[in-house]
Structure 1
Amino acid sequence: MSRTLVIGDIHGGFKGLEQAMQRSEVTKEDQLIFLGDYVDGWSETPELLSYLIQLKEEQDCIFIRGNHDDLVLTWFRTGESNPKWLEHGGKSTMLAYEDVSSTIRDMHHRFLENLTNYHIDKQNRLFLHAGFSNLHGPQAEFYPNTVYWDRSLWEMAKAMDKSLSPEDSFYPDRLKLFNEIYIGHTPTTRIGKTDPVNLANVWNIDTGAAFKGPISILDIDTKEVWQSDPVYKLYSDEPGRNKD
């Protein structure tokens, strides 16, 4: 029986993704929805992107754009790097591409160019990297990059009164637009969790792979979760983005 599986932030942790996919027993019949941030952090960004490109040839995959993916795309296009990007994982990506051929690099460039900003399925479930602020939804955002940088959606969900229902007049209008919303971007480790976290109808699947957490895969119908080991343990000789 086919499943729809959503995968949180990876940040160059190819070993962690392999482990999580093995544990979830992914088959070619499963649809895979990746929530972005494939790059920046651990050392295997090139290997990971090559794997994802091949995976797309084998089964139904949706690849959402993350803010780090956009930063790396800018570096591919211009060769320019900014200090903040280097500090937050960009340095590991630059080092990882030192010995990568121009052919493979161009292939990865095209992959990052062709990522999608968000996906809405037939059940009115929204998938995007970060969030949105427009009360008419992500498609109405004046600045398209909002969907892979916004943290206000998650901050709102965290601050909500848990007793509110969608019928309540105080329930946020943004959340009423979709049956469920799946995001990454803001690690759940910031609130002391290493599992996907559900607040209101928002599911955060970023379980801190760039830091001290695992990579997570969630079945959106059953809500079953599979995880890798904490990714930093798979790259014990690397600094990653941050060990904190």
Structure 2
Amino acid sequence: MKTFAIGDIHGGLKALIQLLNKLEVKDEDTLIFVGDYVDGWSESAQVIQFLIELSEKINCVFIKGNHDVWCENWLKNDEVNPTWYMHGGKETIDSYEGFSEDKKKKHLAFFENMPLYFIDNENRLFVHAGFTSMHGVKKEVFKASLYFDRTLFEMALTMDKRIEKDSELYPKRLKHYNEIYIGHTPTINFNVDIPMQAVNIWNIDTGAAFTGKLSAINIITKEFFQSDDLPSLYPNEKGRNKG
């Protein structure tokens, strides 16, 4: 049995299908998605429909991201967050053209059932963005931190590698889990187009919303797989690219 963690999809159904074909997923495998299924490329509604059907065939865990929260609110009460609309929300709304109200209700239920984090039997944490509580995700007071916080990864990137885990200087946030898998902060922000490791954190958002690729990582072997870059799969679209 294999377990793969998969990064932010952002409406890129073509990339998702291409990536899953590379993984050669079997029925006994597990897929853990770290959130942001929508907003960016033109197939957000189609991604959600595909994931719902995929979960009927294979064990999947779907973590909720910040873009998923925005989309959920829109499906629930037609609330259009202005920030969301400018950062992929318009494309997501457009992708729902032709979807019946019944399907939209099923998609809403899909979003509503998503956890904000997942901890497996080996004490590996999967969360969209990060957390701020030194006591771990279960003690996080500001739940939005779980899908918005970037300080966890930023802290890990700047850590002195000579500090041992049993040192008083070692960040308490990092001591709670054997490994932490996140998305939300594109690695291409650091001029890296593959998953990044910082201390015990693996960032698997490789910029699929922008000019990057969709990535998956085998959480045991750390072998990673990638789609083609998203602009090449959607040559007539801008996604969330600037300019």
| TM-score category, normalised to shorter length | over 0.9
Q: Which residue of 1 aligns with 2:114?
A: 115
User: Match of 2:140, as an amino acid?
Assistant: E
Q: Which runs of 5+ in 2 are unaligned?
A: none
What is the distance in 2 between the residues matched to 1:87 and 1:242?
Answer: 12
Q: Which residue of 2 aligns with 1:47?
A: 46
User: Match of 1:172, as an amino acid?
Assistant: P
User: Match of 2:137, as an amino acid?
Assistant: P
* Alignment pair present for 1:11 and 2:15: no
* Alignment pair present for 1:93 and 2:76: no
Shift of 1:230: 0.4
Q: How does 1:1-244 map to 2 (within 5 A)?
A: 2-243=1-242
Give per-residue Cα distances to partners, 1:216-240, cap 9 Å, x unaligned.
Answer: 0100000000000001211111121
Poorly superposed stretches of 4+, deviation over 3 Å: none
What is the distance in 2 between the residues matched to 1:139 and 1:103?
Answer: 34
Q: Which runs of 5+ in 1 are unaligned?
A: none
What is the distance in 2 between the residues matched to 1:210 and 1:34?
Answer: 15
What is the distance in 2 between the residues matched to 1:133 and 1:82?
Answer: 25
Shift of 1:182: 0.4
Report the aligned-residue RMSD: 1.1
**8 A Cα contact 2:46 2:95, kept in partner:** no
User: Match of 1:201, as an amino acid?
Assistant: N
TM-score (norm 2): 0.97
Report the identity percentage.
50
Shift of 1:171: 1.1
**8 A Cα contact 1:132 1:150, kept in partner:** yes
User: Match of 2:148, as an amino acid?
Assistant: W
What is the distance in 1 between the residues matched to 2:48 and 2:181?
Answer: 22
Q: Which moved more, 1:150-159 or 1:33-42?
A: 150-159
Shift of 1:243: 4.5
TM-score (norm 1): 0.97
User: Match of 2:212, as an amino acid?
Assistant: G
- How many residues are matched? 243
